[in-house]
Chain A
Amino acid sequence: MKRIVFLPFALLAMVVLIAFLGNAAYAAEPIIIGAPLSTAFLYGWDAERGMQLAIEEINTEGGVNVGGVKRPFEMAVIDTRDLEPGVPVSEALLVVEKLILENKADFIMGGPVRSEAALAAMDLLSKHKKVSILTTGVLTPAYHARVAENYEKYKYLFRITGEAKWMVGGEIVPSLLFIEKNYGLNRLFIMIQDVSHARAGGGIIAKVMKDKGWEVLGEPEIYPTGTTDFSMGLLKAKRQKAQVLLIWMDMPETSILLKQWYDLKIPALPFGSIIAAAEQPGFWKATEGKGEFTLANVVNAGNAPSNATPWTMKFFEAYKKRWNIEPEGYGTSTSYMGPYVLKDAIERAGSLDSDAVVAALEKTDMKGVYGRIKFDPKSHQVIPSLDPDEGAVGTIFQWQGRKRVVVFPPKIAMGKIKLPPWMK
């Protein structure tokens, strides 16, 4: 009789115990990832979505094992507005500080997105010994150069995405030479946005391509952020008989540039070394198809469909299912990988201690969405490559019909470059 009385209590105790153990990750204190992102712009909102997706997947799998305790990730996003014209860098710094002091972020991930803002935030992050992983925007080589120069101070800072120096030397220049070899085009007209990374990138490309025997037509045309009329520059390109238009702009108004390029039938192939507007699946609709034949660099694989690694299309489909849109452009796949790389490092470190996590991150060696992910131990820059088995691989695609067809690097190419009819 006594046993029968105690049976329901024992069952109840078991149910409670199972429920408790099952939700251990959620009962545990969450690990806060502070994300300073310019959420009104592509490189901000796609990064947020990428990170959110990874965090949901990780939490569904039980969370992060921190020294034997399963803890979930939680993301705190604040808009830095640093990609918007006229917004001072100080706004982004305030956001980073707020994430650290008010949101009690354990780690910073994502941005700030604009190079100038990220460089300015370096000291702040170091002061708080906050491990930060840049996953979007920020292409300036100055970032990882500063880490290498002053390792002790900046050792908490990592960048998991590409940077301008490799992008130019390792991807853009080889793909321009590929275009010259296969299509005989070698007259370059450069149009860039008036921001640090574009000025630097445009200048380097001009110099390198001159050395490679290309005819670089005049100085790069520089446009302020928010420009909506490019017709004079395009006419100049036509007058100078340009054959390739190299565009380096992260503002959404570049879709206007491509519409004007089509309307004026400029006989030069548009090549976006950074061209935020053309990266997105909505570009076709935004230009009413006038942007066809535009080449766009999305910095890392996974931001356009390809088979770089077995994880690439798995991520691509998961993103599409979660957000009802294909991965949108630069910053998506890298921001998705950010939480996975951090999880891996925390689990190896066995704690959230900044120095321990830094040491673990330096030993990262993981096959991710865009190839092998390893950090340079001195500069904390992800090691790039043209081969996904060797390092983080990039992607250049061309708009063909309504599709983004990867055309470079050859290891992951899904098609060949086509010229617009008025260039044939």
Chain B
Amino acid sequence: MHILIYGTINSFSLALMAIGFTLVYGISRLPNFAHGALYVVTGFIVWSFVNILGIHYIASILLSLILTGVIGAALYQFVLIRVRGMATSEIIASYAIGLAILEGLRWRGFKGMTYTLPVFIEGSIEIAGIPVDFQRMIVVGIGMVVVAFLWLFTHYNKIGLALRGMAQDERAAMMLGIDSDIMALVAMALGSSLAGLAAVVLLPLGNIVVEAGYNVLILAIAVCIVGGLGSWFGAVLAAFMIGFGQIITVEYVASHFHMVVALLAIIITLILRPSGLFGRQKELEERV
């Protein structure tokens, strides 16, 4: 039972970490390697709002999500737009930005373990005899809401439909009058805010440390590669596969193989099905 409960929690945590990354890639074909840095930055923004400016916790969270979205949009508008379409340059540029942000934070003294965010609700309950704290239940709840929101947004909202159109066929979408750059900008802002949302939900379970940025990026990439780059459904499914895989490994193999699961999943996927479970990007090439 504890595997089921904690596997589900871990899976939703991974889904939250990865969904912003896959959203940006799915729409703009831009691999945002600054994703992990945006995750950590959001944590520090909330911490600063609460502890330095004295803003209410909930208001700080909302403001930080908006601010992270703006930062993401600015990164696209001022840096990434210039290299769009050049895959290697996109990776180098976004990774360099992420590195500069994370190491800049470390350089400015954001290190140690004193940066923490409070949990939304204190306490825990027992589900079938297994203790689960409320924050983890909130992770699952928000994970479900995010997945549902994205589905509804991309099926019933004009901007969401435009984003979906872009993801399916950028040229066709442009012929229908959808502005490719605007949509990529929106995707980057939304993806950054989703990285921020993952941060504000998950960071209260631990502390805000620079190193988390690198971990989140690796996990997000693992989920996206296994699920198929750009496939939202694939990302969620992959999050569950890796999430349960990690928990089962910890329980039956050894806890220090926890991280190996994600890396092994990348290797197996690249060998057996390079486009991932639901990736269509290279499917045709693979068949040929």
- B205 touches which one: A40, A252, A256, A280 (CB < 8 A)? A256
B106 at the interface (CB under 8 A from A): yes
**Residues of B with C-beta under 8 A to A227:** 255, 258-259
Contact check, B206 vs A265: say whether CB atoms are below 8 A apart: no
A41–B112 alpha-carbon span in the complex (Å): 7
Task: Tell me if A263 and B258 are in contact (CB < 8 A).
Answer: no
| Least CB separation from B250: chain A residue | A232
Q: Is A88 an interface residue (CB 8 A)?
A: no
A251 to chain B, nearest CB (A): 9
**A221-B255, A222-B255, A233-B250 are contacts. A280–B215 as well, Cβ < 8 Å?**
no
Contact with B along A232-266 (1 / 0, CB 8 A): 11011010000000000000110110011001110
Return chain B residues, CB-CB under 8 Å to A263: 119, 124, 133, 135
Given contacts A40-B111, A85-B211, is CB(A235)–CB(B258) below 8 Å? Answer: no
Bound together, the chains give a CA A231 to CA B2 distance in angstroms of 10
Tell me the minimal C-beta distance from A277 to chain B in angstroms.
5
Residues of chain A lying within 8 A (CB to CB) of residue B114: 282, 285-286
- Residues A232 and B247 in contact in the complex (CB < 8 Å), given A40-B106, A252-B209, A259-B206: yes
**Cβ contact within 8 Å between A252 and B113:** yes
Which A positions have Cβ atoms within 8 angstroms of B?
40-42, 84-85, 194, 221-224, 226-229, 231-233, 235-236, 238, 252-253, 255-256, 259-260, 263-265, 277, 280, 282-283, 285-288
Instruction: Name B's A-contacting residues (CB within 8 A).
Output: 2, 6, 10, 106, 111-116, 118-119, 124, 130-131, 133, 135-136, 205-207, 209, 211-212, 215, 247, 250-251, 254-256, 258-259
Chain B residues with CB below 8 A from A280, complex form = 112-113
Given known A-B contacts A232-B251, A282-B112, A238 and B256 have beta carbons under 8 A apart: no
CB distance from B108 to the nearest CB of A (A): 12
Q: A residues within 8 A CB of B211?
A: 84-85, 226
| Assembled-state Cα–Cα distance A347/B116 (Å) | 47
Q: Which of A85, A252, A263, A283 has the most CB of B within 10 A?
A: A263
A265 lies within 8 A of B124 (CB): yes
B255 touches A232 (CB 8 A): yes
Give Cα A92 to B116, complex, Å. 30
Q: Are A238 and B113 in contact (CB under 8 A)?
A: no
**Residue of B with least CB distance to A239:** B2
A222 adjacent to B254 (CB under 8 Å) = yes
Interface centre among A236, A255, A283 (most CB of B within 10 A): A255
Which 4 pairs of residues, A with B, have the shortest CB-CB distance? A256-B206, A252-B113, A263-B133, A222-B256
Q: Are B256 and A229 in contact (CB under 8 A)?
A: no
* Cβ distance A60 to chain B, nearest Cβ, rounded Å: 27
Closest approach, in angstroms, between the C-beta of B221 and any C-beta of chain A? 15
Closest chain-B Cβ to A85's Cβ sits at a distance in Å of 6
CB distance from A98 to the nearest CB of B (A): 19
Q: Give the nearest-CB partner of B215 in chain A.
A: A226
Nearest chain A residue, comparing its CB with the CB of B3: A232
- Given A252-B209, A264-B133, the answer on whether A277 and B113 have CB atoms closer than 8 Å is yes
Give the residue name and chain of the A residue nearest to B114 (CB).
A282
Task: Provide a sorted-by-A list of 6 A–B residue pairs whose CB atoms are within 8 angstroms.
Answer: A40-B106, A85-B211, A255-B116, A263-B124, A280-B112, A285-B116
Most interface-central of B112, B207, B209 (chain A CB within 10 A):
B112
B207 contacts A224, CB within 8 Å? no
**A255 with B113, Cβ < 8 A, contacts A226-B215, A265-B131 known:** yes
List the A side residues contacting B215 at CB < 8 Å.
226, 228
Cα(A287)–Cα(B130), bound, Å: 23
Chain A residues in 8 Å Cβ range of B206: 228-229, 253, 255-256, 259
Which B residues lie within 8 Å of A236 (CB)? 251
CA distance A283 to B114 in the complex (A): 7
Residues of B within 8 A of A256 (CB): 205-207
B172 CB, min distance to chain A CBs, angstroms = 42
A41 to B111, CA, bound (A): 8
Q: Please indicate the chain B residues that have their CB under 8 angstroms from the CB of A221 in the complex.
A: 254-255
Selected contact of A288 from candidates B118, B124, B205, CB within 8 Å: B118
**Which of B106, B215, B250 has the most chain A CB atoms closer than 10 A to its own CB?**
B250
CB pair B256–A223 under 8 Å, yes or no, is yes
Cβ contacts under 8 Å, A286 to chain B: 113-116, 207
Q: What residues of chain B lie closer than 8 Å to A232, measured between beta carbons?
A: 2, 6, 247, 250-251, 255
Give CA–CA (A216, B205) in the complex, Å: 28
- Chain B residues whose CB sits within 8 angstroms of the CB of A253 once the complex forms: 113, 206-207, 209
Q: How long is the Cα–Cα vector from A238 to B6 in the complex, in angstroms?
A: 15
Q: Give Cα A265 to B133, complex, Å.
A: 10
Interface centre among A40, A260, A280 (most CB of B within 10 A): A40
Q: How far is the CB of B164 from chain A (nearest CB, A)?
A: 34
| Given contact pairs A235-B6, A235-B131, A228 touches B250 in the complex (Cβ within 8 A) | no
User: Which residues of A sit under 8 angstroms from B247, Cβ to Cβ?
Assistant: 232
- Which residues of B have CB within 8 Å of A252? 112-113, 207, 209
Give B129's nearest chain A residue, CB to CB: A239
Minimum CB distance partner of A219 in chain B: B254
Question: Contacts of B250 on A, CB cut-off 8 Å?
Answer: 232-233
Across the interface, do A228 and B124 meet the contact criterion of CB distance under 8 Å?
no
A232 to B132 Cα, complex, angstroms: 11
Most chain B CB neighbours (cut-off 10 Å) among A84, A232, A252: A232
* Complex Cα spacing A261 to B255, Å: 17
Residue contact B205 to A259, C-beta cutoff 8 Å: yes
In the complex, are the beta carbons of A229 and B10 less than 8 A apart?
Answer: yes
- Residues on the A chain within 8 Å of B6, using CB: 231-232, 235
* Chain A residues within 8 Å of B205, by CB: 228-229, 256, 259-260
